[in-house]
């Protein structure tokens, strides 16, 4: 009887102790899942922060903003300006200094045109490597935060916005933290629709703003990156465990849900007509980060933060993880009930059969215990079988099944840890390494056995090891993941002594009665190599431009000077020998002058062709009627030939350049090569939503099919230059200008009579019909 009572008490104690253990393990599982999801989304947003730092470190960008800011306020000492790199004490701002005159072309007295073109080209290449971003801008505080450079992504096409279309952004909500509170650190603004000129033109957008500061700490500009909120958050590609629900929710209750293997819902934006608040939105207003709560519908919820309310900036993002009790707790409860029932049954049987030998009765448990001890280090499933059909054997089988379930769960978590692409290191409060996954082993060149038990500073350079405990203390105070060295480089030391650049995020956890710190480590060498490649391409572009400028100088000076000497000498000979010249010698002198003049014109046209697309051409918006009058004034129309514009031409509104140059060359080409004393040239168009199709047609001789591509090459004419005085560059100008703006041109001709040039010219915001 006493044996049965003892078993009953032992079984009851084991039941309630196991119940508490299951509850604790359930919460740990919930917290671990929520924190992992938060870190994945945080890494996406953190990359946007890093990218603003990359752009802010470009000397041309900061120099251009500084020049524009100070252009109308000359300092007593007009020194050149240079970018001061971010420091550890000023991690989120980029400063502008006047102490090191090392940035070429940064003088306030110089034109900013070259800087603008250089920054635009850098932004264009950068945006091409970031498919999730929709816009990159450089703004200057002067003029109520006007845009200096803006590059847009529209339907996968990258467009540098012309100077005439840049806007004033001082009244936009995302700039108010700088204007009203003087926020100098990088921050995210609230999710809003993308607006241009005060109108909504795009989807809900996430913006990250990095203020630019001068040496006195005054803000003079900002780098702004826009990203479409939905694909950006979807790019986190969370692998959500079956039955779990994960929501990324902003402070305005914009949210996106994740489920299954890298699946997510569309963004629910709070200004959409069919918007519904996220589940348990009342819990999200409490700002109780890292909190568990019961939903009242048999679910458990956990709230973790990605971006907190830092420095009074407006944007906040929380991760809400929800899972049913059936998944988290119910199986364990059922297993505990079964175990308790078996235990009680065993106690009853023991009271009735106390005479049976204890060793035989408990032999299944003894064998199970031996099997468990033999598998402690290997974490292999427990292999337990018995041929007996009694309560003790059933209890042993139940325990073995429960243990195998726990082993399977532990192995699954180990597989996730060991299969992670990033290095993961766990240390205790003293900095001693407790665990190290294979990715970290590969990264540092050590085995886990060589590092576990050692202080983590063995993986750091001396300078970083000295400040390691400061980072640990900050993580302990907040209890949330911290990204280390956001605005400076941090290095790790490999086993061979070499150093590698790292990106590190540290989070704090409490388990097994003590604090632990989990570091997620990534080798950022590929990113640095990409940055170096960009810098190399920029240098190569500068060299190429310099060589082209040198060629232009030679063409315009060194080559043309001898031609002018020849021309002048021929004129002097004609004057001095006029009484003695025969008809043949006079013809030879005329031919010499004509060839010299033609050669000089060829050099002029070649120089003009080389500069197309390299020089910023100021252009204004004109109506079709104004453009028609300008073209008519510029054309040399011989008697008997008529040039006729369609009525729809007067109704369009376009940018004057380079369209004026293209149409002038097409019409001039039709006039110059006409083979009749009287004829017609027609200019017609069709206006479409995305383009204008221009057609320049004539009733001249036509262009054979085999020459319809060749005529667009430089120095190409279908007639000898003695018959038609031309350099053969006009259609080459047309082809190059069209290519630079994304236009296309083709020829429609049977080669016998008449030619039509069909030009598809893309339209911009100002290229709309006046009637509309």
Beta bridge partners of 153: 158
In this structure, the chain runs to a length of: 772
- Which fold is adopted by the domain 612-772? Heat Shock Protein 90 (3.30.565)
Q: What is the pLDDT of residues 247-277, one digit of tens each?
A: 888 888 898 988 877 678 899 998 899 999 9
Quick check: 590 pLDDT over 90?
no
Q: Which of 80-89, 111-120, 173-182, 273-282 is predicted with the least confidence, judged by mean pLDDT?
A: 80-89
Highest mean pLDDT among 220-229, 263-272, 356-365: 220-229
Of 297, 324, 298, 328, nearest in space to 26 by CA: 328
Per-residue pLDDT, averaged over 473-501, amounts to 67
The total of other beta-carbon atoms located within 10 Å of residue 433's CB is: 22
Cβ–Cβ under 8 Å, residues 504 and 485: yes
Quick check: 216 pLDDT over 70?
yes
Percentage of the chain exceeding pLDDT 90: 18
Instruction: Supply the mean pLDDT for the chain.
Output: 77
What is the pLDDT at residue 287?
55
Quick check: 90 pLDDT over 70?
no
The CATH number that domain 25-75+82-102+113-339 falls under is 3.30.450.20
Model confidence at 139, pLDDT cuts 50, 70, 90, reads very high
* Strand-by-strand arrangement of the 744-748 sheet: 641-645, 679-687, 691-698, 755-762, 744-748
H helix intervals, 498-582:
525-553, 560-576
Per-residue pLDDT, averaged over 64-73, amounts to 65
Answer with the residue of higher pLDDT: 114 or 99.
114
Model confidence at 97, pLDDT cuts 50, 70, 90, reads very low
Of 158, 157, 140, nearest in space to 149 by CA: 140
Question: What CA–CA distances, in Å, run from 459 to 189, 195, 422, 444, 449?
Answer: 37, 48, 16, 8, 14
Quick check: 143 pLDDT over 90?
no
What is the pLDDT at residue 208?
93
Strand 679-687 versus strand 744-748 pairing type: unpaired
Per-residue pLDDT, averaged over 447-473, amounts to 77
Quick check: 98 pLDDT over 70?
no
What is the pLDDT at residue 585?
78
Beta bridge partners of 503: 522
Of 32, 13, 109, nearest in space to 319 by CA: 32
What is the pLDDT at residue 301?
82
What is the pLDDT at residue 63?
81
Strand 133-140 versus strand 146-154 pairing type: antiparallel
Alpha carbons 99 and 109: distance in angstroms, whole number:
17
Per-residue pLDDT, averaged over 357-372, amounts to 68
Burial of 378 (0-12, 13-18, 19+ CB in 10 A): exposed
Residue 360, both tokens: 């035989």
What is the pLDDT at residue 674?
83
Q: Please, what is the end-to-end C-alpha distance for the chain in angstroms?
A: 99
Answer with the residue of higher pLDDT: 142 or 286.
142
Residue 441, both tokens: 């082993």
Task: Give CA 623 to chain center in angstroms.
Answer: 38
What is the pLDDT at residue 740?
86
Highest mean pLDDT among 498-502, 535-539, 755-759: 755-759
What is the pLDDT at residue 225?
96
What is the pLDDT at residue 303?
83
Quick check: 161 pLDDT over 90?
yes
Task: Give CA 381 to chain center in angstroms.
Answer: 46
Answer with the residue of higher pLDDT: 85 or 372.
372
Answer with the residue of higher pLDDT: 123 or 728.
123
The CATH number that domain 420-522 falls under is 3.30.450.20
Answer with the residue of higher pLDDT: 96 or 697.
697
Highest mean pLDDT among 146-155, 190-199, 704-713: 146-155
Model confidence at 103, pLDDT cuts 50, 70, 90, reads very low
Please report, for the chain, the start and end positions of each structural domain, with discontinuous segments joined by +: 25-75+82-102+113-339, 420-522, 524-605, 612-772
Answer with the residue of higher pLDDT: 602 or 530.
530
**pTM over cut 0.85:** no
SS3 522: strand
Answer with the residue of higher pLDDT: 48 or 360.
48
Q: What is the pLDDT of residues 295-330, one digit of tens each?
A: 766 788 888 888 655 545 678 888 888 888 777 665
Percentage of the chain exceeding pLDDT 70: 71
Quick check: 84 pLDDT over 60?
no
The yes-or-no answer to whether 25-75+82-102+113-339 and 420-522 have a common fold is yes
Beta bridge partners of 205: 192, 228
Q: What is the pLDDT of residues 685-715, one digit of tens each?
A: 999 989 999 999 999 888 888 887 888 876 6
Q: What is the pLDDT of residues 10-68, one digit of tens each?
A: 656 665 666 677 777 777 777 887 888 888 888 888 899 899 999 988 888 888 877 77
DSSP string of 185-222?
A: S-EEPPPEEEEETTEEEEEEEEEEEEEEEETTS-EEEE
Highest mean pLDDT among 29-33, 99-103, 354-358, 636-640: 636-640
What is the pLDDT at residue 105?
44
What is the pLDDT at residue 693?
93
Quick check: 404 pLDDT over 50?
yes
- For residue 383, what is the enclosing H or E element? none
Answer with the residue of higher pLDDT: 547 or 101.
547
């Amino acid at each position: 009887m006493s044996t049965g009572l003892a078993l009953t008490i032992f079984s009851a104690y084991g039941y309630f102790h196991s119940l508490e253990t299951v509850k604790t393990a359930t919460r740990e599982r919930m917290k671990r899942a929520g924190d992992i999801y938060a870190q994945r989304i945080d890494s996406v947003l953190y990359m946007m922060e890093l990218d603003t730092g990359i752009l802010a470190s470009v000397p041309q960008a900061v120099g251009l903003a500084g020049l524009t800011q100070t252009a109308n306020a000359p300092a007593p000492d007009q020194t050149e300006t240079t970018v001061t790199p971010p420091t550890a004490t000023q991690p989120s701002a980029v400063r502008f200094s006047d102490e090191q005159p090392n940035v070429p072309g940064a003088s306030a007295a110089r034109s900013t045109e070259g800087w603008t073109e250089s920054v635009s080209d850098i932004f264009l290449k950068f945006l091409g490597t970031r498919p999730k971003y929709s816009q990159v801008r450089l703004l200057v505080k002067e003029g109520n935060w006007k845009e200096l450079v803006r590059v847009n992504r529209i339907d996968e096409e990258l467009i540098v916005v012309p100077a005439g279309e840049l806007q004033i952004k001082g009244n936009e909500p995302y700039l108010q933290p700088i204007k009203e509170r003087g926020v100098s650190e990088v921050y995210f603004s609230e999710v809003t629709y993308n607006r241009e000129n005060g109108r909504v033109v795009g989807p809900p957008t996430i913006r990250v703003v990095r203020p630019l500061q001068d040496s006195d700490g005054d803000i003079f500009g900002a780098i702004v990156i826009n990203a479409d909120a939905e694909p950006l958050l979807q790019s986190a590609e969370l692998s959500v465990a079956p039955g779990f629900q994960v929501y990324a929710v902003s402070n305005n209750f914009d949210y996106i849900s994740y489920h299954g293997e890298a699946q997510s819902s569309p963004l629910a934006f709070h200004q959409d007509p069919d918007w519904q608040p996220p589940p348990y939105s009342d819990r999200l207003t409490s700002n109780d980060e890292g909190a568990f709560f019961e939903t009242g519908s048999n679910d458990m919820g956990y709230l973790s933060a990605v971006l907190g309310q830092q420095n009074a900036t407006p944007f906040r993002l929380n991760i809400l993880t929800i899972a049913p009790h059936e998944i988290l707790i119910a199986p364990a409860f059922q297993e505990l009930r079964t175990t308790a029932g078996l235990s009680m049954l065993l106690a009853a049987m023991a009271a009735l059969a106390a005479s049976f030998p204890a060793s035989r009765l408990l032999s299944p448990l003894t064998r199970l215990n031996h099997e468990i001890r033999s598998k402690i280090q290997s974490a292999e499933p427990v292999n337990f079988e018995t041929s007996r059909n009694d309560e003790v054997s059933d209890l042993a089988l139940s325990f073995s099944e429960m243990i195998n379930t726990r082993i399977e769960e532990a192995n699954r978590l180990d597989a996730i840890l060991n299969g992670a692409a990033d290095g993961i290191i766990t240390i205790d409060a003293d900095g001693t390494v407790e665990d190290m996954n294979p990715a970290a082993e590969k990264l540092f060149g050590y085995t886990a056995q060589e590092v576990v038990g050692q202080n983590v500073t063995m993986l750091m350079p001396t300078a970083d090891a000295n400040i390691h405990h400061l980072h640990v203390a900050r993580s302990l105070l907040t209890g949330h993941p911290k990204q280390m060295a956001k605005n400076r480089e941090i290095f790790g030391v490999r086993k061979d002594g070499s150093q590698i650049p790292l990106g590190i995020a540290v989070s704090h956890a409490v388990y097994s009665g003590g604090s632990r710190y989990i570091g997620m480590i990534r080798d950022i060498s590929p990113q640095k190599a990409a940055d170096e490649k960009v810098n190399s391409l920029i240098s190569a572009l500068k060299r190429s431009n310099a060589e082209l400028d040198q060629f232009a100088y030679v063409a315009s000076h060194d080559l043309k000077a001898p031609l002018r000497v020849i021309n002048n000498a021929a004129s002097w000979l004609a004057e001095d020998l006029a009484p003695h010249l025969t008809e043949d010698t006079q013809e030879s002198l005329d031919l010499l002058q004509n060839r010299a003049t033609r050669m000089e014109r060829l050099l002029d046209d070649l120089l003009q062709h080389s500069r197309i697309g390299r020089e910023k051409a100021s252009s204004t918006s004109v109506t079709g009627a104004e453009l028609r009058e300008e073209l008519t004034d510029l054309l040399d129309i011989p008697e008997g030939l008529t040039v006729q514009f369609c009525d729809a031409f007067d109704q369009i509104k376009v940018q004057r350049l380079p369209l004026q140059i293209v149409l002038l060359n097409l019409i001039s080409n039709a006039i110059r090569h006409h083979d009749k004393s009287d004829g017609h040239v027609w200019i017609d168009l069709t206006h479409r939503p995305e383009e204008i199709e221009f057609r320049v047609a004539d009733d001249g001789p036509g262009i054979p099919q085999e020459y319809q591509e060749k005529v667009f090459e430089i120095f190409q004419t279908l007639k000898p230059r003695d018959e038609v005085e031309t350099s053969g560059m006009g259609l080459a100008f047309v082809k190059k200008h069209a290519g630079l703006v994304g236009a296309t041109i083709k020829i429609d001709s049977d080669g016998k009579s008449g030619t039509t040039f069909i030009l598809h010219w893309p339209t911009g915001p100002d290229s709309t019909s006046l009637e509309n």
